[in-house]
Amino acid sequence: MRITALAGGVGGARFVRGLLHELREVRGDTDSEVVVIGNTGDDITLFGLRICPDLDTILYTLGGVVDEGQGWGRVGDSHTVQQELADLGALPQWFGLGDRDFATHIARSQWLGQGQSLSEVTTRLAQRWRLPEQGVRLLPATDTPIETHVVLDDGDQGERAVHFQQWWVQMQAAVPARRFTVAGLAQAPPAPGVLDALRTADVILLPPSNPVVSIGIILGIPGLRDALRGSRAPVVGVSPIIGGAPVRGHADACLATLDVEVSAAGVAGLYADFLDGWLVDDADAGSMSGTRPTVRSLDLRMRDVAGAARIAGAALDLSADLS
């Protein structure tokens, strides 16, 4: 079976790790291939280094080296470089970067600087974390640099835009966003293999990733949304919203900016033109109306790998029923 998933950072990574556990350990399926199309809108250049938080979160999670507590970065990392940068007065300091994580950004920046594409660089990093051995290909949604910016109300000054990471990490998304704009998006073709992975998939999965700044950005890549609409495979998603609130992060602030209700139904509405199946939490059972998508409810909290595997299994079961 060919499985293609669109993914942001922590929610996407934990879901894909569960999916692999479900396939390989629970079902004994060693053949199925998983292609993950990762969000690059969060990417940022700091200290001259290109940082791809969502791709790295997937790499570290599948590599078994992620800091589980925070969900991103390397477990047990030290912060010598960051401290030295602080002592130098080099800014910004609001983005926490560990030493081992720094090495990833240095290698990526070096390889990009030598003319390799982000896809090629990501493949090299994926080899380091043994993704091919797990039957996973991680593709950036696009090789063209894109960056999500957040437009804020600036009082008498009108409005100003900040990088998504500044809004999310430094401002904790507490400042209302007027809108999101993605620099470079209209001229960012899908990376090699992305449209193919959607066209040839037997199943397309939407993990419980942020519907606006993770999945929403990927869907904005020219041709992506049409590929989902036209796909022969069932598209099955998992709600990142449980009982009217995100499980973690600030998806509620993102949805508010789009005037979309913070609910499983609100998120499904954003995918209405291509979504065939939708998994909601038991708390939200009965909250969806209409005949499409087909809805099933279960405990959607990914407390551990086995829990995420159970959810991924339910998504596969639903897609099989829809095929």
Give me the residues that bind ligand GDP (CB under 6 A), please.
7-12, 54, 57, 208-210, 214, 238-240, 242, 246-249, 251, 300-302
Which of 43, 101, 147, 284 binds ligand FO1 (CB under 6 A)? It is: 101
Q: Which residue type, as a one-letter code, is found at position 316? A: L
Nearer to ligand GDP, 85 or 277 (CB): 277
Residue 93 as a binder of ligand FO1 (CB under 6 A): the answer is no
CB 14, min distance to ligand GDP, A? 6
Rg, the chain, Cα only:
19
Closest by Cα among 100, 122, 116, 130 to 20: 130
User: What tokens were used for 319?
Assistant: 């897609």
Q: Contact letters (x/-) for Ca ion, 34-73, by CB under 5 A?
A: --------x-----------x-------------------
Kindly report each contact of residues 65-72 with a partner whose C-beta sits within 8 Å and lies 24 or more positions away, as own/partner: 65/129, 66/13, 71/9, 71/10, 71/13, 71/14, 71/248, 72/9, 72/10
Determine the Cα–Cα distance for residues 88 and 95; give it in Å rounded to an integer.
16
The one of Ca ion, ligand GDP, ligand FO1, none whose footprint includes residue 209, by CB under 5 to 8 A per kind, is: ligand GDP
Q: Is residue 249 close enough to count as binding Ca ion by CB under 5 A?
A: no
Q: Is 9 in the site for ligand FO1 (CB under 6 A)?
A: yes
Q: For ligand GDP, give the closer residue by CB, 178 or 301.
A: 301
Q: How far is CA 14 from its chain centroid?
A: 10
What is d(CA 112, CA 273) in angstroms, rounded to the nearest whole number?
36
Nearest-approach distance from CB 61 to Ca ion, in angstroms: 13
Q: How many CA atoms lie within 13 A of 6 on its CB side?
A: 33
Inter-axis angle of helices 10-21 and 305-322, nearest 10: 80
- We find the least distance from the C-beta atom of residue 7 to ligand FO1, in angstroms, to be 11
Select from ligand FO1, Ca ion, ligand GDP, none the partner in contact with residue 101, using the beta carbon and a kind-dependent cut-off of 5 to 8 Å. Answer: ligand FO1
53 near ligand FO1, rule: CB under 6 A: yes
Q: Which is nearer to ligand FO1, 101 or 276 (CB)?
A: 101
d(CA 185, CA 151): 16
Nearer to ligand FO1 (CB atom), residue 104 or residue 231:
104
Q: What is the DSSP string of 123-155?
A: HHHHHHTTTGGGTEEEEESBSS--EEEEEEE-G
Q: With CB under 6 A, what is the number of residues at the site for ligand FO1?
A: 16
Closest Cα partner for 300 from 238, 224, 226? Answer: 238
Single residue of 4, 6, 9, 228 touching Ca ion by CB under 5 A: 9
For ligand GDP, give the closer residue by CB, 64 or 230: 64
- Among Ca ion, ligand GDP, ligand FO1, none, partner that 11 touches (CB below 5 to 8 angstroms by kind): ligand GDP
Q: 232 vs 248, which CB is nearer to ligand GDP?
A: 248
Alpha helices in the chain (DSSP H): 10-21, 53-62, 80-88, 99-113, 118-128, 164-165, 194-199, 215-220, 224-230, 251-257, 264-270, 305-322
Beta bridge partners, 44, equal 51
168 near ligand FO1, rule: CB under 6 A: yes
Q: Can you give the binding site for Ca ion, defined by CB under 5 A? A: 8-9, 42, 54
| Residues near ligand FO1, by CB under 6 A | 9, 42, 53-54, 56-57, 72-73, 95-97, 101, 165, 168-169, 210
